[in-house]
């Protein structure tokens, strides 16, 4: 054991999310992802992920999204952006954008691919 070096609480707002972990990381997420995918599959998994963020309690949406990306990685695939840091940051920072995006999809005929790219671009810029 060693004495800890205490730091300023206000300094924590400079940190951005890189990854998630924990005992419950995968619990129940298969079912959750399936539900979201069934409802939104016409837009592909990226939108399913964003919608899960928009429609569900934030932490669960993130957990589902992270679990999808982890599962994809485990299968030798990468679902987000090719850059884990950007992917996770996008999922965290994109919550508001995702909510707006989900509403836009509902009401308008919009270019899904372009909108997704914009969300990820904004999130990547935020992370720098």
Partner 1 sequence: MAVEKVLVDEFDILKNGDQYAIGFDVDDGPIFDADFMYDGRNCAILTRNNKKAFLLPNINPDARKILSKLDSIVIIERTKGEVSNVYEVEVRHVENIPYPDTFQEDVNKMLDELKAELGEKEFGELMKTIAQEYKKDKK
| Residue 83: partners with Cβ closer than 8 Å, 6 or more residues away | 124
Is residue 35 involved in binding partner 1 (CB under 8 A)? yes
Is residue 111 involved in binding partner 1 (CB under 8 A)? no
Q: Which of 30, 96, 110, 118 touches partner 1 (CB under 8 A)?
A: 30
DSSP 12: G
Size of the residue set binding partner 1 (CB under 8 A): 55
Q: Which is nearer to partner 1, 19 or 103 (CB)?
A: 19
Q: Which of 57, 75, 107, 108 touches partner 1 (CB under 8 A)?
A: 75
Say how far apart CA 104 and CA 115 lie, in whole Å: 10
Considering the complex, what minimum distance in angstroms separates the CB of residue 55 from partner 1?
17
Q: Which is nearer to partner 1, 6 or 107 (CB)?
A: 6
- The stretch among 22-30, 50-58, 97-105 that binds partner 1 (CB under 8 A) is 22-30
| CB contact at 8 A, 113 and 69 | no
Supply 91's token pair. 């999922």
Buried residues in 13-27 as b, exposed as e (16+ CB within 10 A): eeeeeeebeeeeeee
């Amino acid at each position: 054991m060693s004495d800890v070096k205490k730091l300023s609480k206000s300094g924590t707002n400079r940190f951005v999310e890189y990854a998630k972990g924990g005992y419950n990381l995968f619990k129940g997420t298969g079912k959750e992802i399936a539900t979201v995918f069934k409802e939104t599959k016409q837009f592909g998994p990226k939108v399913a992920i964003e919608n899960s963020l928009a429609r569900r309690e934030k932490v669960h949406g993130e957990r589902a999204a992270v679990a999808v990306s982890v599962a994809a990685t485990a299968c030798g695939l990468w679902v987000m952006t090719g850059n884990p840091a950007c992917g996770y940051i996008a999922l965290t920072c994109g919550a508001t954008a995702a909510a707006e995006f989900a509403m836009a999809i509902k009401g308008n005929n919009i270019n899904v691919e372009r909108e997704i790219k914009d969300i990820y671009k904004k999130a990547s810029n935020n992370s720098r």
